[in-house]
């Protein structure tokens, strides 16, 4: 029954497992993932201190099974995991920090999902702090041997009595090692549940032959929308005039509008990975003059009526984006008023 419920939530657009609550609501709502800000994008890592119950681990395992199914069947999923999640799915062992080079590498990994913490660790290690007295160092960085997990939450003591031990110039390297090791393994239990679910459907040993970026691309599709690749995978049966108008409109769209049209056309905000679809994107003739486009999401096909002008065509596209962001009337919770402002009087 639980698996059926989870499948219903995921397949019909609710996506409650990767909860997109604003950060100020994250601490008051039970959810499995929290936001991290990386390279100007909001990504997700598992909530290390909330997603610990048997039900949470079961849900994460099920999500792993869906990822495994995605790899086996080449069906993309809309997941925005931080790089560390994909990295630790492939290799759960964290980088050793007992050498200077190893510590630098581990800080770079931390930077991929917590840039501020990584920069803070780099500052503490900088040579300018090496010869400071304890009083001088405390004026620069006043902290005990504690840290906080992604998404906030209670402080974590780094060792017994860490909350009563001050960071000094003499022990700063020990402190940075402790922080980095703690932060890199904070979601170990949750990522292992994802890994277990994946391995039940698709062998993780096979995945490890690939780089984590390749695995992410196979599961989620290409980041960003490459118009040239979209054009290359397109078959148009609507004539040169409508084809030219179509691409002019797509190029005029904002990134959000492009994602909205892809969502309308095939139920995902990213282009399919190369080789996922045999025929790519198809435009066919269909519908009444100046009417609305019709999408066949299973086949990444859109039927286009005969439009009298590019302006009418664009208005109809924006209307479709506003009103057809779900698949088979699954009633996604979208801000239709905001999108309607873009559609004008379509």
In a shared domain, residues 113 and 167:
yes
The span from the CA of 87 to the CA of 91, in Å, is: 6
Do 53 and 131 sit in the same domain of this protein? no
Do 148 and 50 fall within a single domain? Answer: no
**Structure tokens belonging to residue 346:** 């379509």
Band of the pLDDT at 95, cuts 50, 70, 90? confident
Do 106 and 156 reside in the same domain of the chain?
A: yes
Regarding whether 292 and 254 lie in a shared domain, the answer is yes
Task: Please tell me whether residues 261 and 338 are part of one structural domain.
Answer: yes
Say whether both 73 and 138 belong to one domain.
no
Same domain for 269 and 334: yes
Residue 164's domain is classified under what CATH number?
3.30.2160
**Judgement on whether residues 174 and 89 belong to the same structural domain of the protein:** no
Same domain (yes/no): 66, 157: no
Mean pLDDT of 115-133: 86
Residue 307, domain CATH: 3.30.2410.10
The model's pLDDT over 218-247, given as tens digits with 9 standing for 90+, comes to: 888 777 788 998 999 999 999 999 999 999
CATH code: domain of residue 74 = 3.90.1750.10
Whether residue 78 sits in one domain with residue 198: yes
User: Using 50, 70 and 90 to split pLDDT, how confident is the model at 313?
Assistant: very high
328-333's contacts with Cβ under 8 Å and 24+ in sequence apart are 330/12, 330/13, 331/13, 332/13
Choosing from 170, 199, 220, the residue where a domain stops is 220
Whether pTM > 0.75 for this model: the answer is no
Continuous H helices in the chain: 2-11, 23-26, 54-73, 83-90, 100-111, 115-125, 134-140, 172-184, 188-201, 204-207, 212-220, 227-232, 240-252, 255-266, 310-323, 336-343
Show the domain range for 142: 100-184
Same domain, 247 and 209: no
Counted domains in the chain: 3
* Run of H or E including 288: none
Give residue 139's pLDDT. Answer: 86
């Amino acid at each position: 029954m639980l698996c059926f419920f989870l499948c219903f939530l995921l397949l019909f657009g609710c996506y409650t497992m990767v909860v997109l609550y604003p950060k100020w609501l994250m601490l008051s709502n039970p959810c499995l993932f929290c936001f991290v800000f990386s390279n100007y994008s909001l990504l997700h890592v598992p909530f290390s201190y909330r997603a610990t119950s048997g039900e949470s681990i079961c849900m994460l395992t099920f999500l792993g099974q869906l990822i495994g199914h995605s790899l086996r069947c080449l069906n993309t999923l809309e997941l925005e995991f931080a790089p560390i999640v994909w990295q630790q799915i492939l290799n759960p062992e964290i980088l050793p920090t007992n050498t200077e080079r190893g510590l630098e590498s581990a800080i770079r990994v931390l930077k991929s999902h917590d840039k501020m913490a990584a920069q803070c660790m780099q500052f503490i290690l900088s040579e300018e702090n090496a010869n400071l007295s304890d009083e001088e160092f405390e004026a620069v960085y006043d902290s005990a041997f504690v840290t906080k997990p992604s998404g906030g939450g209670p402080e974590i003591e780094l060792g017994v009595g860490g909350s009563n031990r001050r960071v000094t110039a003499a022990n700063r390297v020990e402190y940075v090692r402790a922080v980095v090791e703690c932060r890199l393994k904070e979601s170990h239990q949750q990522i292992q549940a994802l890994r277990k679910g994946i391995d039940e459907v698709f062998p993780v040993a096979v995945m490890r032959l690939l780089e984590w970026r390749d695995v992410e691309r196979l599961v989620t599709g290409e980041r960003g929308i490459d118009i040239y690749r979209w054009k290359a995978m397109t078959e148009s049966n609507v004539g040169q005039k409508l084809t030219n108008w179509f691409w002019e409109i797509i190029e005029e769209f904002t990134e959000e509008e492009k994602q909205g049209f892809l969502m309308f056309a095939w139920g995902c905000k990213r282009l399919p990975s190369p080789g996922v679809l045999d025929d790519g994107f198809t435009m066919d003739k269909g519908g009444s003059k100046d009417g609305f486009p019709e999408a066949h999401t299973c086949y990444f096909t859109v039927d286009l009526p005969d439009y009298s002008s590019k302006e009418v065509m664009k208005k109809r596209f924006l209307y479709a984006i506003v009103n057809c962001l779900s698949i088979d009337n699954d009633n996604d919770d979208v801000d239709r008023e905001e999108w309607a402002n873009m559609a004008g009087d379509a």
